Amino acid sequence: MDDASAYAAPTPKAFYIHDDLSDYVHRRHGPTSTAAQLTQKLFALVPRGASHVHVLTLDAQIEQLLSRGDYSPFDLTIGIGSAGERVAQQLHTRTGWFPNCHRVGVTREEDGHGDYHIVSTTDRPLQGQLPDVRDVVSLAVVDDTLFSGMTMRTVLQALASEVRARTHAFCLRGVAASIPGITALCPMTIGFAAPGDLLNEVSFINASGMVMRVGIRRAGKAPQAFFERPMWMHVWFPGYADAVIALCRQLNAVLEPDGQPATFP
């Protein structure tokens, strides 16, 4: 059994694609570049063929999160991966909540047998990356997406219970059914929370992972883009997946011309 066949295709009734790609392409390649034109075509195509596909924008998610309440600046913020650090920076620009952000490098990785593990993306395990938080009065933990909650739970559970009592989690978007697993550990504020069970009723991906090899991390193997899992693409975009895959391949050839995973963002 290969990696792809070990993982059943998610079949969500509501499928959300976060557009983290447009701004990246504009900054790296320019707003009138071939990459920008292909990106525009992609976002015109993906929601057109199926009513269950929804594109999420950064500004709308930030506005939703800000509507949940206001907070005093936290003494320390832990950003989960580059995505969590980026969200903390984006929110801090608007609010001033996260003046001191420390990134920890962890991510979810396929084990090749149908399961997932949280692994370090650095040469140090998670515990070795955590800052000294014993005397921190208020701690924030920030990530971009709450899907299964595995990554956020792993980071929170690495903290002592007395530290979690002074901790607040933040996320821009996620699956509503996964929130209780986090709030059992500490309070949480989320921007867009989609109702329904993960995979069968609701699912999220980042557009960057659809076209660049940052979407699927695999133990002992090179990462993949989602378009390299055609079985998944045909479930997500029924009847027009081949057109989406073809456009993703065109865009990937521009963004990752040597076939190697690019640094994102």
pLDDT in tens, 120-151: 999 999 999 999 998 999 999 999 999 999 99
pLDDT for 200 equals: 80
Cα of 215 vs its chain's centroid, Å: 9
Beta strand 188-194 pairing with 53-56:
unpaired
Burial group, residue 5, by CB count within 10 angstroms (0-12, 13-18, 19+) = exposed
Q: Is the pLDDT of residue 104 over 60?
A: yes
Which pLDDT does position 231 carry in this prediction?
Answer: 92
Q: How far apart are CA 129 and CA 102, in angstroms?
A: 9
Give 155-167 pLDDT, tens digit per residue.
Answer: 999 999 999 999 9
pLDDT above 50 for 115: yes
Mapped onto helix, strand or coil, the DSSP state of residue 96 is coil
228-252 average pLDDT score: 95
Q: What is the mean pLDDT of the chain?
A: 93
Helix/strand number for the chain, H first, E second: 11, 12
First-to-last C-alpha distance (Å) of the chain = 33
The pLDDT, as a whole number, for residue 149 is 94
pLDDT at position 162, please? Answer: 96
Read off the pTM. Answer: 0.92
Mean pLDDT value across residues 93-117: 94
16: tokens are 């959300």
Cross-strand pairs, 76: 139
The answer on pLDDT for 80 being more than 50 is yes
CATH architecture of 59-194: 3-Layer(aba) Sandwich (3.40)
Q: 84, exposed or middle or buried, with CB in 10 Å at 0-12, 13-18, 19+? A: buried
Domain ranges of the chain: 9-58+204-213+230-255, 59-194
The answer, yes or no, to whether residue 154 has pLDDT greater than 90, is yes
Kindly list the distances between the CA atom of residue 263 and the CA atoms of 4, 59, 143, 209, in Å, as whole numbers in the listed order: 24, 23, 18, 12
Structure tokens at 166: 């002074």
Structure tokens at 169: 């989690």
- Residue 3 has what pLDDT? 61
78 pLDDT more than 80: yes
**Closest by Cα among 100, 153, 107, 161 to 131:** 100
